[in-house]
Amino acid sequence: MGLAVLWPGGAPAHERTGVGFDRQTQQASVTKVVAVSCKSVNASGDTPTGDTSTAEGSSAQQQADGTCKKATIRVDTGDDKGRTFTEVVQPDQSRQLHEGQKVVVAYEPSAPKDLQYSVTDVDRRFPVALLAGIFALAVVVVGRLRGVMALIALAISFLILNFFILPAILQGSNPLLVAVVGSSAIMLIALYLCHGLSARTSVAVLGTLISLLLIGVLGSLFIGWAALTGNTDDNTGLIHGLYPSIDMSGLLLAGVIIGSLGVLDDVTVTQTSAVWELHEANPSMGWRGLYRAAIRIGRDHIASVVNTLVLAYAGAALPLLLLFSIAQSSVGTVANSELVAEEIVRTLVGSIGLVASVPVTTALAALVVSADRPGPGPATAGAETGRAAAGVPAAPARGGRGRRRKR
């Protein structure tokens, strides 16, 4: 119902700004690279390549006296297919071009003809596609049918993200509502597709949904309280410039919810499976015993998952943390900056939701699985009557002592 009500029908159109990811790009190839003197290149006025970042502290004189590279690039796609242009690569640039390399070029139609194209990135589609193929093969070989179902669920998750969540946010829908609806749809499809339509899966779904709602409430509260705007880098600034109606703090909250969903699925499914396996091993165990046994497993899971989240966010923000370390900023100064405070709030809110999902899911699973335990009833009484009529002695009461055998 939420998908039907909020369905965007596609992302809204806009005029390209030519800035950042909003530039027009084409595929190209480096056809020739020759070494030239940087002094002669600079004197002739040739334009350096689009990656103009230089090492800190390098001087203009060192650049002028070094050996540069003049690359000839051929455009392989678009209306200008076959067109060539040249660019100069400085010796201290981080990205060096070589002959035969596939690159991505930016196109600016309003620029002079000899400056319309510039190298903006390397074409790395093949190695990424190869790695994705190796990943899919490993999942299918190890997981077999479950692995195939997991890959199908992954593809559906990407479809929901690309055709619902992102366009709905761009259309101006509430990012929090869109994230909750989209995450719930991904969760329902992925869990039931991978683990089957059963009470066990339904308990994991319910535990995940309760934890997602808790993360949404806590995230909304503390993002507003900490005055986090969500507009902290060039990408979010470009989004805000193109679509001023988007609530950037709501977008930050939506990211927290979607980012926590994958780990939540892992925790809730693991806890539900633990309760069911404990019940299979000892069907006479009541729900309190099941809860106590499964929560001990959950505590180990909590410790590892929380550490995983913290390290994942720290790894993503490692270059930023290095800059703060170089500046010798205090811990309080670093934590107070919005860039780091966003990650702290993201990590802590997600971790609280993960921690809460363990007891919630464990309690739900213990209640559901213990409710199916057969108790004494008419069938049991009839069986006892039949044994007495056949002359079979009844089983001794639990805890009683039988007669001693004569030697």
Is there a domain that residue 247 lies in?
Answer: yes
Q: Which two tokens stand for residue 207?
A: 């535990």
Closest CA to 338 of 252, 224, 230: 230
**Alpha-carbon 97 to chain mean position:** 32
Write down which residue in 91, 125, 159 finishes a domain: 125
Burial class (CB in 10 A: 0-12, 13-18, 19+), 378: exposed
Closest CA to 39 of 72, 88, 85: 88
Residue type, 164: F
Report DSSP letters for 54-65, one per residue.
--TT--HHHHHH
Is there a domain that residue 402 lies in?
Answer: no
User: What is the rounded average pLDDT of the residues 330-335?
Assistant: 73
Is there a domain that residue 217 lies in?
Answer: yes
Q: Are residues 203 and 163 in the same domain?
A: yes
Write down which residue in 69, 97, 125 finishes a domain: 125
Q: Are residues 304 and 265 in the same domain?
A: yes
Q: Are residues 190 and 339 in the same domain?
A: yes
pTM score > 0.85 for this model?
Answer: no
Is there a domain that residue 160 lies in?
Answer: yes
Instruction: With beta carbons less than 8 A apart as the criterion, state whether 52 and 88 touch.
Output: no
Domains of the chain: total? 2
Q: Alpha-carbon distance 211 to 389, whole Å?
A: 55
List the domain range (segments joined by +) for residue 186: 139-371
Q: Are residues 178 and 233 in the same domain?
A: yes
pLDDT at 152: 93
What is the chain's alpha carbon radius of gyration, rounded to the nearest angstrom?
A: 31
Q: Are residues 119 and 144 in the same domain?
A: no
Q: Are residues 271 and 346 in the same domain?
A: yes
Query: What is the per-residue pLDDT across 77-125, written as a single tens digit (0 to 9) for each?
Result: 888 888 888 888 887 777 788 888 888 888 888 778 777 888 888 888 8
Is there a domain that residue 343 lies in?
Answer: yes
- Pairwise pLDDT comparison (178 vs 65), residue with the higher score: 178
Mean pLDDT, the chain, whole residue set: 78
Report DSSP letters for 157-182, one per residue.
HHHHIIIIIHHHHHTT--HHHHHHHH
pLDDT at 14: 64
Burial per residue of 234-254, b for 16 or more beta-carbon CB atoms within 10 angstroms, e otherwise: eebeebbebbeebbbbbbbbb
Q: Are residues 121 and 161 in the same domain?
A: no
Is there a domain that residue 309 lies in?
Answer: yes
Q: Are residues 95 and 203 in the same domain?
A: no
pLDDT at 265 over 50: yes
Q: Alpha-carbon distance 370 to 270, whole Å?
A: 18
Is there a domain that residue 403 lies in?
Answer: no
